[in-house]
Structure 1
Amino acid sequence: MTLVKFKRPFGNLLRQDFFDMDDFFDSRMWKGGMMETDFWNGKTVEPAMNIKEAKDHFEIELAAPGFDKKDFNVTIEDGYLNISAEKKVAEEEEKENYSRREFRYNAFERAFELPENVKEEAIKARYNDGILRFKLLKKAEVEKKKPKVIEVG
């Protein structure tokens, strides 16, 4: 393991009077670091998630506060559970001497490869208190047949 010196994204801007512009643009923030992450480049950010396994089912919980049930799009395709959500909110206020326009946009996408032992037709989803929950029932396990030995004559 190699130890690498951590460079602050904004250099030592907060601790010194002189701002080193070269250090700022050569930092990790701009070269393959912070600016390459989803948060900075305009892509969506994935919500936090929990997966629990019980004897007869799986449970998936996604933290997605601020959405409505109608904002979600959930599909099963080629063995994947695809979850996406998008919400746009725009507000306008016109007064005599000013106008105010605000907007918000939230979106995310997640995909999960489903195990072979999940009943795709029985997947259920519900959204409550900012948490999107899925229950994935398992198929009954079928005992594998022992290989039959054939004697060569």
Structure 2
Amino acid sequence: MTLIKRNYPVRNFERVNPFAPMFNDLFETMFNGTSLSEGNFKVPAVNVLENAEEFSIELAAPGLSKDDFKIDLEKNTLTISVQKEEEHKEETKNYHRKEFSYSSFKRSFNLPETVDVEKIGAEYKDGVLSVGIPKKAEAQLKAKQIKVS
């Protein structure tokens, strides 16, 4: 299983100075806690595990609900995405305040031909999305002892 590399748009000032992205992201991360290249939402960390029977993807995304996730499979590419919109309204006697918050991320994975796509399942529990990707029966590694003659 391979992770598809994310491509970020090139900003105009980066064409002039090739070191600009490194320093801008560094300083913005130090002062804001976020990175320019990731927008207003951190891209969650992902663990990819493999054993004899299946691949597993664990994605740490606390604060979301299972309905926020969208998992698509197209031509052996598994895509996990979230797009969340929040609106906060507050009205008092002297002022009105309305705040909008939009956050999203997308992670894609190339799946090998040995995966049984019909049996892929997902579960969201305690802030972690777990996706189980079983292998086809013929692709599973089975222990075998070879007799020496």
Q: Sort the TM-score into its range (normalised by shorter chain).
A: 0.5 to 0.7
Answer 1 or 2: which has greater helix percent. Answer: 2
Is the contact made by 1:60 and 1:134 (CA closer than 8 Å) also made in structure 2?
Answer: yes
Q: Give me the CA root mean square deviation.
A: 2.5
Q: 1:32 to 1:130 in 2, by over 3 A?
A: same
- Equivalent residue for 1:126, pick from 123, 128, 132: 123
Q: Please, which of 17, 35, 39 is the counterpart of residue 39 of structure 1?
A: 35
Structure number with bigger Rg: 1
Distance 1:42 1:111 in 2: 15
Inter-partner Cα distance in structure 2 for 1:70 and 1:56:
28
1:50 is aligned with what amino acid?
Answer: N
Shift of 1:105: 2.1
Query: Within 5 Å, which residues of 2 pair with 1:63-74?
Result: 63-74=60-71
Distance 1:119 1:102, change over 3 A: same
SS at match of 2:137: coil
In the alignment of these two chains, the number of paired residues is: 115
Q: Percent identity?
A: 40
- In structure 1, stretches of 5+ residues that fail to align are 1-25, 143-153
TM-score (norm 1): 0.66
Q: Distance in 2 between matches of 1:42 and 1:140?
A: 39
Structure with bigger RCO (C-alpha 8 Å, 6+ apart): 2
Secondary structure in structure 1 of the residue aligned to 2:43: coil
Structure 2 partner of 1:101? 98
Runs of 4+ aligned structure 1 residues displaced above 3 Å come to 34-38, 41-45
Whole-angstrom CA distance in 2 between matches of 1:113 and 1:42: 22
SS in 1 for 2:138: coil
| Cα separation, 1, equivalents of 2:52 and 2:79 | 24
